[in-house]
Amino acid sequence: MTEPLIYEISRPGRRAVSLPACDVPATPLPAGCERADLPLPEVPEVDLVRHYVRLSQMNHGIDTGFYPLGSCTMKLNPKVNEVAARLTGFAALHPLQPENSVQGAMALMYELQEMLAEIAGFAAVTLQPAAGAHGELTGVLIMRKYLYDRGETQRDVILVPDSAHGTNPATTSMSGLRVVQVSSDARGNVDLDVLRELLARHGPKLVGMMLTNPNTLGLFDEHVAEVVRLVHEAGGLMYGDGANFNAILGIVKPGDLGFDVMHYNLHKTFSTPHGGGGPGSGAVGVSAALADYLPGPIVAKSEADSLYRWHMPPRTIGRVKAFYGNFGVLVRAYTYLRMLGAKGLRAVSENAVLNANYLQARLRGVYPIPHGDRTCMHEFVAQGILKDAPDIHTMDIAKRLMDFGMHPPTVYFPLIVPEALMIEPTETESKETLDTFVDVMRQIAEEARTEPELLHDAPHNAPVKRLDEVKAAKDLVLCYAPGCG
């Protein structure tokens, strides 16, 4: 790092603000609130601005370059969403305001609930959960409570395919249930024979199954109807991980397929910036039988006076979030849906699938694609394995991509594909950008054979080189100051 950090350029007495003279009586802070030793950097405004702009430039974002991070749906977040979310009437609301003063915000939430229910074929939706994983936990708790209420308290098993996102087994464990893994067949579907055998063994203990469809191989399960039928027959419920909903908007309704519960990733499919981890929204939709179990408050509309009211469903699992969910994300999702309409929404998925298949077709023969004989949905999984370059791994290819101003795909996931490179271009990228990506991926494959050290030493231009990623994630240094971190 060549640029000085803000503490190094700090000089006593420099200021980034000039406040007007105080025209109210000075009031001392309550005892214990004052600190004599608060080491804040002292810099003028120009250096302060440079510091933050520089930090922002160290990050790769969807606004700076291509971002084919599989399963994360890093699509354009239309700027009109931001305009809507910043409208004072939304942004300046207080969650403790009385209902009659926030009818506009409640109308937005009500209509969003209704639109999401319609798009996925569910009877009711809660907007409370703050992320996809949080929606999963909510969904699993709903399934469990529903079965408890029917006296089926012995049920404690959830089936999860081996292609599932790590959050699926994690949320199942957090809810106190047991995870049993289901393997995939040679075509990347749930293995029906294995499923039948597991149902024979665990049927009476089954809470249900969590299925991502299309799955994390980017494949629409060819037997999804049969999977749902078998799980229902065993007395279980079907949970849909809706993080991959971007592939089927306006084409397939998970509720029509027989799913009982699903979470939506509003920040993925419905366009809220979500690099860096938040805020998000993991709204949950359910069938009519489960509607009474949703966490609230949800928004209900009164027939009598057309007013919106906060409503706690009668058998609710309780609250899962303070107040009313991440409202700003809800405004963005609402704006996105209203701008697109039903036809536009379907076009989103058609183009997302088209773009992914275009990339898959053009990279065939350059990198191995285990299920490349099938039409993919919005993403596909290639492998960072190259003939004549045995020392090159997926991580080398991913890091080399950064030298070309592109974010790497998701790597080493799903776990069932060795050296996985999971590529999701999204619908908002042009053919030219996709072609550039293919050119770069071809060039990297060539370099792997001719100049492998270029890949081993990559990235060459990033602010930091190869990190110990586990240490970076688990052993965070959250502050920089003399004597700290």
Ligand X SMILES: *Cc1c(COP(=O)(O)O)cnc(C)c1O
Which residues are near ligand X by CB under 6 A? 71, 131-133, 165, 167, 212, 216, 241, 243-244, 265, 280, 282
Sequence-distant (≥ 6) Cβ neighbours of residue 242 within 8 angstroms: 120, 132, 135, 254, 262, 263, 264, 265, 269, 285
Q: What tokens does 468 get?
A: 């110990």
Position with the least CB separation from ligand X = 132
Nearer to ligand X, 280 or 368 (CB): 280
CA distances from 105 to 128, 148, 295, 299, 331 (A): 14, 35, 19, 10, 9
CA distances from 15 to 42, 48, 51, 321 (A): 6, 10, 14, 40
Report the distance separating Cα 115 and Cα 289, nearest Å.
Answer: 19
Nearer to ligand X, 214 or 313 (CB): 214
| In the complex, minimum distance from the CB of residue 150 to ligand X, in angstroms, rounded to a whole number | 28
411 backbone dihedrals φ, ψ, rounded to 5°: -115, 150
Nearer to ligand X, 217 or 395 (CB): 217
| In the complex, minimum distance from the CB of residue 210 to ligand X, in angstroms, rounded to a whole number | 9
Nearer to ligand X, 133 or 299 (CB): 133
- Classify strands 284-286 and 261-264 as parallel, antiparallel or unpaired: antiparallel
| In the complex, minimum distance from the CB of residue 51 to ligand X, in angstroms, rounded to a whole number | 29
Report the distance separating Cα 371 and Cα 440, nearest Å.
Answer: 22
Q: What tokens does 26 get?
A: 């000075």
Nearer to ligand X, 133 or 234 (CB): 133
| In the complex, minimum distance from the CB of residue 213 to ligand X, in angstroms, rounded to a whole number | 10
Q: What tokens does 159 get?
A: 């089936």
| In the complex, minimum distance from the CB of residue 126 to ligand X, in angstroms, rounded to a whole number | 15
How many other CB atoms are found less than 10 A from the CB of residue 351?
Answer: 16
Nearer to ligand X, 131 or 448 (CB): 131
Nearer to ligand X, 175 or 216 (CB): 216
Determine if residue 188 is left, alpha or beta; phi over 0 gives left, psi from -120 to 50 gives alpha, anything else beta. Answer: left
| In the complex, minimum distance from the CB of residue 166 to ligand X, in angstroms, rounded to a whole number | 8
| In the complex, minimum distance from the CB of residue 272 to ligand X, in angstroms, rounded to a whole number | 10
| In the complex, minimum distance from the CB of residue 322 to ligand X, in angstroms, rounded to a whole number | 18
* CA neighbor of 295 nearest in space, from 311, 315, 319: 319
- Angle at which helices 327-363 and 79-86 pack, to 10 degrees? 170
Nearer to ligand X, 81 or 167 (CB): 167
Report the distance separating Cα 108 and Cα 93, nearest Å.
Answer: 13
| In the complex, minimum distance from the CB of residue 468 to ligand X, in angstroms, rounded to a whole number | 23
Determine if residue 366 is left, alpha or beta; phi over 0 gives left, psi from -120 to 50 gives alpha, anything else beta. Answer: alpha
Nearer to ligand X, 282 or 296 (CB): 282
Nearer to ligand X, 240 or 384 (CB): 240
Beta strands in 308-441 (DSSP E): 308-311, 380-383, 410-411, 420-423
| In the complex, minimum distance from the CB of residue 324 to ligand X, in angstroms, rounded to a whole number | 18
Burial of 256 (0-12, 13-18, 19+ CB in 10 A): exposed
How many other CB atoms are found less than 10 A from the CB of residue 191?
Answer: 18
Report the distance separating Cα 452 and Cα 388, nearest Å.
Answer: 11
